[in-house]
Amino acid sequence: MQIIQNNPYRVIGLLVGTTAAEQRRQLTRLQRYLEAEQEPETDFCFPILGNLHRTTDSVIEAASKLNLDNDKMSAALFWFYKGNDITDEPAFEELKVANQQSCYEIWIKLTSSGEVTKRNSSAYHNLSTLLLLHAFNTSKIKLKLLEQGISLKLKYLESNYAKDLKLLATDETYKITNAGLQRLFLNEIQLELERFGVTFSEKFLNILTKQEFSAKEDFLKGFVQKPIQEIEKKIEEAKTKRKANKANAVNIGNALYEQIAEKINQLKSILGTSNLEFSSISDKGSDEILQCGIDYFLHYKDSSTDPGSASMDLFRKAETLAIGNIAKQRCQENAENLQEWIDDKPERDKQGRILVDLGKLKNLIDEYEARDETIANAKQLLASARQYLNNLKNILGSTDELYLGFSSRIASDAQGMCVSEINKLQEKFSNTYDDAIKVAAILLLKERVNEAWDITTTIGSMDMRQDFRTRYIQNRTSLSNLKAQFEALNIARETSSGGSSGSGCYIATMAYGYYDHPQVIILRQFRDEVLDKSAFGKWFIKTYYNYSPKLVEKLRNKKVVNSIIRKTLNQFIKLIK
């Protein structure tokens, strides 16, 4: 450390506190030795502390630096003085003979109590000076020695015994407080750090924030402008990078946190959280780190990359830097919203796996709502939806509300189609007075009831919501009753189990106008007495009764067609008479 190695007191070979007469004698003595080109012996330059080349000019210059009280005080802060003859004198003798270890042991023992007293106050000062010398004695600062040296000196300068050094070094008219001495000391340390190329030492700040001394607040405030400027620069750099590459925002945010977090903590220890300058810069850092997390999340949230954990980590880091209520609230709100998104991830994963099936089901619902409400369409709807419903069930489970909703909707639409067609056929049967048409309508109704029953049975095996299942059971019961009525009436008996006597000739009845028309009676007799006696005739009768109701339904209002049928049947009747 330059101010120790080249200290004016060292150059002239004296301790702090020698009288003016002693100083004059020493200067005269030095001049004689130097003129004789000899190195003076037994003075207090302590060669073990480092090389010291003294010349007549350097001695004169050193002496001139000890004329003013302020200069003498600055030099005294970094040199030795004898405050306790019993302990300091042996220590100085050890230094003279290059036995630093013994010197260390003497002063360390005296300062081990941690309390500055009259007996050990000079040991605090002298040991600090020795430690500081060796902290800067190489190309790299030894931080442990630096911290020990600063701590000892500040404890000494905070004590009531710092005035002893001031009185030894300066005239009694020189006025300076303990805080002033502390600032004088720390300014020299700062200059030495700058000589080592350290313009802003985070380690130096860390050391100072651990200490308690009168000048702490004032001295540290002088350090804050540079770190604040550096933090602002890092924030602006991060903002520019984030806007240019949001996909990399998480790395930008983490890098910014690493760059500014320690500096912000140091500023916090210096300024305190109530300081507006500190809260402003800390909130700016928090806001930018938070925005990095937000941009990263928004960039990846709809992709295969899950941004939840990385963004949440940035949100938490941002929250540690937030000071103001607005900054804190913004961090908390974003963290809460992100946590909801993270908690919903299992459901989103399910949704992603069933997205195609949901789309297909929605399309089917829309498509079949536009179609006619028929039993045939109901059957097709169930068949088309089965695969997609099974996929939903396998992924979501049979009790999942979304799956039950779609399954119930498909079942409801299919059942609605069946009910609609059955109702229309019943209405048609009720509104017609033509016997042939009634017979045709009731046979068609029976056929549709059977088809609807098959579909209803299929629907019953499907998973559905309880409210719809109640309606389904009601409709199934109604359909079951209708089916039972048809089975009891046994209209249109199968020809293979007793013939078709008693059944109407539907097409003939349609053509001639009523059931008991003479020509219709002849045709029924031919059916029962001739056709029903042979295998071919039975097949013909069965085929006729299978298709004739449908033909009657289509042709009953076609006058021209009915006229042709009558003429044809008249010719046929002439042949069979």
pTM to 2 decimals? 0.50
Q: Are residues 105 and 157 in the same domain?
A: yes
Query: Helix H segments across 6-138?
Result: 8-12, 20-35, 56-64, 69-76, 85-96, 100-111, 121-135
Domain that holds residue 395: 348-489
Predicted pLDDT of residue 72: 95
Q: Is 275 helix (H, G, I), strand (E, B) or coil?
A: coil
User: Which of 293, 316, 343 is where one domain is finished?
Assistant: 343
pLDDT tens string 419-431: 999 998 888 777 7
303-332: average pLDDT: 95
Tokens representing 343 are 């908690």
The lowest-confidence range among 43-47, 324-328, 411-415 is: 43-47
DSSP string, 401-423: HHHHHHHHHHHHHHHHHHHHHHH
Please, which residues have CB within 8 angstroms of residue 374's CB and are 6 or more apart in sequence?
417, 420, 421
% of the chain exceeding 70 in pLDDT: 94
Give pLDDT, residue 202.
67
Output the pLDDT for position 431. 79
Both 53 and 143 in one domain: the answer is yes
Q: What does the pLDDT average to over 209-235? A: 88
pLDDT, average across residues 222-243: 91
Question: Residue 449 is inside which H or E element, if any?
Answer: helix 435-460
399-429 CB burial, b ≥16 within 10 A, e <16: ebeebbebbbbbbbbbbebbbbbbeebbebb
Tell me the backbone φ, ψ of residue 425, rounded to 5 degrees. -65, -40
Average pLDDT rounded to a whole number, residues 252-275 = 90
Closest by Cα among 332, 338, 350, 333 to 298: 338
Contact between 440 and 506 (Cβ < 8 Å):
yes
Kindly state the average pLDDT of the residues 328-350: 92
488 — pLDDT class (breaks 50, 70, 90): low
- The answer as to whether 220 is a domain residue is no
Identify the three-state secondary structure at position 139: coil
Mean pLDDT for the stretch of residues 270-288: 92
Which residues make Cβ contacts (< 8 Å) with residue 321, sequence separation at least 6?
A: 257, 260, 261, 264, 282, 283, 285, 286, 289
Residue 517: what pLDDT? Answer: 82
pLDDT given for residue 218 in this prediction: 85
Looking at the fold, whether 471 and 353 belong to one and the same domain comes out as: yes
Is the pLDDT at 116 greater than 50, yes or no?
Answer: yes
pLDDT surpasses 60 at 502 = no
Q: Give the whole-angstrom CA distance, residue 505 versus residue 512.
A: 11
**What does the pLDDT average to over 447-476?**
93
CA distance 207 to 89: 31
Q: Are residues 286 and 266 both part of a single domain?
A: yes
Region for 13 from its dihedrals, namely left if φ exceeds 0, alpha if ψ lies in -120 to 50, beta otherwise: left
The pLDDT of 345-358, averaged and rounded, is 83
pLDDT at 536 over 60: yes
Specify the pLDDT at position 511: 79
Are 454 and 558 part of one and the same domain? no
Q: Which residues pair with 81 in a beta bridge?
A: 16
Mean residue pLDDT of the chain comes to 88
Give one DSSP letter per residue of 158-216, joined into a string. HSTTHHHHHHHHS-TT----HHHHHHHHHHHHHHHHHHTT-SS-HHHHHHHHH---TTH
For the cut 80, the answer to whether the pLDDT of residue 287 exceeds it is: yes
Same domain, 199 and 231: no
| Residue 41, domain member (yes or no) | yes
One domain, residues 526 and 565: yes
Domains identified in the chain, total number: 4
- Confidence at residue 179, expressed as pLDDT on a 0 to 100 scale: 95
End position of a domain, from candidates 310, 343, 376: 343
Whether residue 451 is predicted with pLDDT greater than 50 in this model: the reply is: yes
322 or 446: whose pLDDT is higher?
Answer: 322
Q: Where are the alpha helices (DSSP H) in 245-307?
A: 249-271, 276-300
Domain boundary among 343, 376, 394: 343
- Reference 136, options 183, 205, 198, 61; nearest CA is 198
Residue 535 forms part of a structural domain: yes
Same domain, 148 and 22: yes
- Same domain membership, residue 505 and residue 460: no
Residue 126 has pLDDT above 80, yes or no: yes
Inter-CA distances, 217 with 214, 221, 267, 356, Å: 8, 6, 11, 66
CA distance to 44, 221, 225, 263, 296, per residue, from 234 (Å): 50, 21, 14, 11, 19
pLDDT at 493 over 70: no
Query: Length of the chain, please?
Result: 577
Judge if 65 and 209 occupy the same domain. Answer: yes
**Mean pLDDT on 94-115:** 93
- Which whole number is the average pLDDT over 520-536? 81
Residue 219 lies inside a defined structural domain of this protein: no
Same-domain status, 136 and 176: yes
Backbone angles phi, psi at 16, to 5 degrees: -65, 135
Confidence of residue 568 (pLDDT cuts 50, 70, 90): confident
- The pLDDT value given to residue 115: 94
Is the pLDDT at 494 greater than 50, yes or no?
A: no
Same domain for 336 and 384, yes or no, is no
Which tops the pLDDT comparison, 376 or 39? 376
